[in-house]
Amino acid sequence: MKLRWFGHSAFEIISEEETRILIDPFISNNPTCKIPVEELKADLIFVTHGHADHMGDAMEIADRNKALLVGTHELSVFFSKQGLESEGMNIGGSLKFDDIKVTMVDARHSPDIDFTDEIIPGGSACGFIFQLEDGRRIYHAGDTGLFTDMKTVIGEIYKPNIALLPIGDRYTMGPEDAITAAKWISPQKVIPMHYNTFPVIEQDPTIFKETLEKETSIEVIILGPGETYKE
Ligand code: NI
Ligand code: MN
């Protein structure tokens, strides 16, 4: 499994069977991402909510790659109206793509599509649990504040191995709440996201790493934009 971070909440997962997954591909307007959007390939593209920094280039990449766009029912209706292939789902539901199972989970955040002339309702903001062919589970939290289902539903039921958590503050959890979130979810590894893209979400991820690793056995992996983590 390869997990590449493009900065912000944009990730690529390439599974053992070479399925290419993109999550929140905010690439061309992402000041930290130096990778040209034309280079990205995808089979499946997941969008956690309708904000421009998460929808990003999802539609352009989907169109060019004939990739399937997956989001809430409301986002899926929007994608379909643009003539794109899309599947909608909702919180608590799962979809299978061959041997990969994806579950939509809650996130506490505003969901609407904000880059159109008028704001369009986007259903709910969400996170995703990706269960890959080998059973490994990756949790992408989307944009969210701390919520107790991270302990009960996500930690105790879905038991992710790797959690991708926002630490930028202001629009999502900051580092302190993300430390609590990580303790509740209790994965083996955490990768911080949604920080240092813009001045308003500036954070030092090393403080998050040092604190969490001192207080728990969780390993924090700090990626730079464009870097890949493999296991
Ligand atoms: Ni957002
Ligand atoms: Mn955001």
Q: How far does residue 134's CA lie from ligand 1's centre (Å)?
A: 31
Per-residue pLDDT, 81? 97
CATH superfamily, domain at 2-230: Ribonuclease Z/Hydroxyacylglutathione hydrolase-like (3.60.15.10)
Per-residue pLDDT, 36? 97
Q: How far does residue 110's CA lie from ligand 1's centre (Å)?
A: 7
Per-residue pLDDT, 14? 98
pLDDT digits (tens, 9 = 90+) for 133-179: 999 999 999 999 999 999 999 999 999 999 999 999 999 999 999 99
pLDDT digits (tens, 9 = 90+) for 29-87: 999 999 999 999 999 999 999 999 999 999 999 999 999 999 999 999 999 999 999 99
Domain boundaries, the chain: 2-230
Stated length of the chain: 231
By the CB criterion, residues less than 5 angstroms from ion ligand 2 are 53, 143
Per-residue pLDDT, 82? 96
Per-residue pLDDT, 37? 98
Q: How far does residue 53's CA lie from ligand 1's centre (Å)?
A: 7
Per-residue pLDDT, 89? 98
Residue 193's nearest CA partner among 178, 177, 215 is 178
Per-residue pLDDT, 230? 98
Confidence of residue 109 (pLDDT cuts 50, 70, 90): very high
Per-residue pLDDT, 112? 96
Q: Which residues lie closer than 8 Å to 131 by C-beta, 6 or more apart?
A: 100, 101, 102, 103, 137
Q: How far does residue 108's CA lie from ligand 1's centre (Å)?
A: 10
Q: How far does residue 5's CA lie from ligand 1's centre (Å)?
A: 18
Per-residue pLDDT, 57? 98
Q: How far does residue 158's CA lie from ligand 2's centre (Å)?
A: 24
pLDDT digits (tens, 9 = 90+) for 173-228: 999 999 999 999 999 999 999 999 999 999 999 999 999 999 999 999 999 999 99
Per-residue pLDDT, 24? 98
Q: How far does residue 27's CA lie from ligand 2's centre (Å)?
A: 13
Per-residue pLDDT, 53? 98
Full-prediction pTM beyond 0.85? yes
Task: Point out the ligand nearest to the CA of residue 9.
Answer: 2
Per-residue pLDDT, 211? 97
Per-residue pLDDT, 42? 98
Residue 89's nearest CA partner among 146, 44, 145, 152 is 44
Q: How far does residue 218's CA lie from ligand 2's centre (Å)?
A: 25
Q: How far does residue 17's CA lie from ligand 1's centre (Å)?
A: 31
CB atoms within 10 A of CB 133: 14
| Residue 54 burial (10 A CB sphere; 0-12, 13-18, 19+) | buried
Task: Point out the ligand nearest to the CA of residue 51.
Answer: 1
